Chain A
Amino acid sequence: KAGVTQTPRYLIKTRGQQVTLSCSPISGHRSVSWYQQTPGQGLQFLFEYFSETQRNKGNFPGRFSGRQFSNSRSEMNVSTLELGDSALYLCASRASGWSTDTQYFGPGTRLTVL
């Protein structure tokens, strides 16, 4: 089975722009979660989608949003980019929405905001 894929792998944007990141889960997985990784804050949970519905959200401003499509692929959008949004954004998928399931991660998208 193919793993979790994320596109693009690298992205450079300037302050004030918006960006969309994409994640394709492992085939058959219905849950997709997004995490932000920075040197200062570590790995932080952004949100989770299951069956096209956001079911859990971390403590991030409304500039961070996401959605999930009927094929379970997910996109994450960040509007009005700030320098502090520079980070590695990781997507994870799991078979169901239960916390008992293991989350499998993609390679990440490294976003640099100038």
Chain B
Amino acid sequence: AQKVTQAQTEISVVEKEDVTLDCVYETRDTTYYLFWYKQPPSGELVFLIRRNSFDEQNEISGRYSWNFQKSTSSFNFTITASQVVDSAVYFCALTANQAGTALIFGKGTTLSVSS
């Protein structure tokens, strides 16, 4: 079965702190795709990154970085020097053959950044 676990329900930080959001996934497929989405209060899910199971290179985009480790089935997301605008719910998601074309989401991590 496919499963995504985001153990951190809520995280609160002060501006300029670094914060890491954890994501652990389960799948028996050898080919799969992992995603991170951001959901601000407006409700729309905003795509942040996609990573396939064959590419374990870490990625950095501005203040955002992602660490993919197949050995621990983790795909963690770090925000460096957090800002108030980063406050949102962040979802990790997985898609693989067993799920067809559906995205399997974790429960999400609510990040609150205060000034």
Contacts and interface: CB of A to CB of B under 8 A. Distances in A.
13 contacts: A35-B103, A42-B105, A43-B93, A55-B100, A55-B101, A56-B100, A98-B101, A99-B95, A99-B96, A100-B52, A104-B47, A107-B44, A108-B43
Contact of B45 (A45, A48, A90): A90
Contact size class for A? 20 to 34
Interface in A55-74: 55-56, 58
A90 to B, nearest CB: 6
Interface string A76-114: 000000000000101010000111101111111010000
Contacts of A97: 101
B26 to A, nearest CB: 16
Contact of B103 (A45, A98, A107): A45
Interface of A: 31, 33, 35, 42-45, 48, 55-56, 58, 88, 90, 92, 97-100, 102-108, 110
Nearest to B35: A102
Contacts of A108: 43-44
B97 A99 contact: yes
